Amino acid sequence: MEWIRDARPRRITLISTGGTIASRWQGSGYAAEAAGSDVLDAAAVPEHVTVDVVDLFNVNSSRMTSVRQLALLNAVHEALADPGVDGVVITHGTDTLEESAFFLDLHHSDPRPVVLTGAQRPIGTADSDGPGNLYDALQVAASVRDLGVLVVFDGLVHPARGTVKTQTLASAAFSDPSAQHLGKVGFGRVDTRSGPERTAPLPLPAASAAPESAALPRVDVITHHSDADPLLFRAALGAGAQGIVLVATGAGNATPEFAEAVREAVARGVLVTVTTRVPAGPVAEIYTGGGAVDLVAAGALLTGTLRAAQTRIAVLATLLADVAPAHRTELLRELLSAEPSEDPTPLPLPEEPLPESASAA
């Protein structure tokens, strides 16, 4: 990992995708409308930073799709193909930001940073948090290397993996309930503690070249609850799911009926993973009687501390990867169980402060 110390000019590509940070009042509610240049004009830009704006699409993030995520992945790699670009910032809606960030991180092999940010309050409102978040994201993108894809929000720096939306409306929208954040932004500096857990980056999937014309695999999420039976699980199989994420209770527990359904799915070549609806902590093989012990015996993979939305992304990335079906389980197991960075030592602090953050308290 490397900390950039000199004050030479930085060139950042800003990819705008919509979300609250680009939303305006539509008469009955807010929706993404503002262009990337409008979003940028609402924020201050750190000293020594120039920004090139790319308007990729403009949607509320609840309308995010795998096709759009593949287009975003391709846009990021196109931006980084220019050696004069020092980093990429993506403005994105918060509802599905955790999914896009993790998808990008699984395919990110460049030392230059990719930083996602957004807002909880729309552009143009008196209390909008978008300008401050964008300033911080630009500052981080101009200041760090070898950290993969990051989420910068409310003055904090998070790794893509494990970071999820934990607040529906509060400004501190993101965290990893099972781990600490990666660093802080404020008072003219970016402090990053250590490298995040990441897997070896995957090559770009062939579908990213023309995602709108690709036949993308179906991956469904099914949640267990007190009265749950495998009806919806089997309905997903009937709909052609090639992967299923079972959101279990506790440390990864369901029922014997679910264990049998998992066994049937795995026998058909479907990738099945087990996460939990509990906010924090790992899933583990502790209980039988339909618990994780039986689900694993039936062929499911446990996801550690990775939660449903990012687990689904790991399954999707596995299915999109250029590997033989017989090796998909092995690849997915690797994506689910990232090991810590080889160099966990803290990054040095900058010799001189960077320009003051617009969101510093």
Active site residues: 20
Asked if residues 151 and 163 have their Cβ atoms less than 8 Å apart, the reply is yes
Q: Are 56 and 16 in contact (CB under 8 A)?
A: yes
Phi, psi of 4 (to 5 degrees): -80, 120
Q: Quick one: which of 195, 202, 158 has its CA closest to 340?
A: 195
Distance, first Cα to last Cα, the chain: 28
DSSP strand pairing (30-32 vs 23-25) = antiparallel
70 alpha-carbon distance from chain centroid: 13
Check if the beta carbon of residue 221 is closer than 8 Å to that of residue 245. Answer: yes
Q: What are phi and psi of 188, to 5 degrees?
A: 75, 20
Task: Please answer whether residues 197 and 227 qualify as being in contact, where contact means their C-beta atoms are separated by less than 8 angstroms.
Answer: no
Q: What is the 3-state secondary structure (H, E, C) of 309-345?
A: HHHHHHHHHHHHCCCCHHHHHHHHHHHHCCCCCCCCC
Under 8 Å between Cβ of 353 and 6: no
Q: How many CB atoms lie within 10 A of CB 189?
A: 19
Amino acid residing at 95 = D
Q: Are 93 and 307 in contact (CB under 8 A)?
A: no
Tokens of 200: 């070896």
Name the strands in the sheet holding 183-186, side by side, starting at the edge strand that comes first in the sequence: 49-59, 10-18, 87-91, 114-117, 149-153, 156-159, 183-186, 189-192
Name the residue among 209, 189, 221, 197 with its Cα closest to residue 316.
Answer: 221
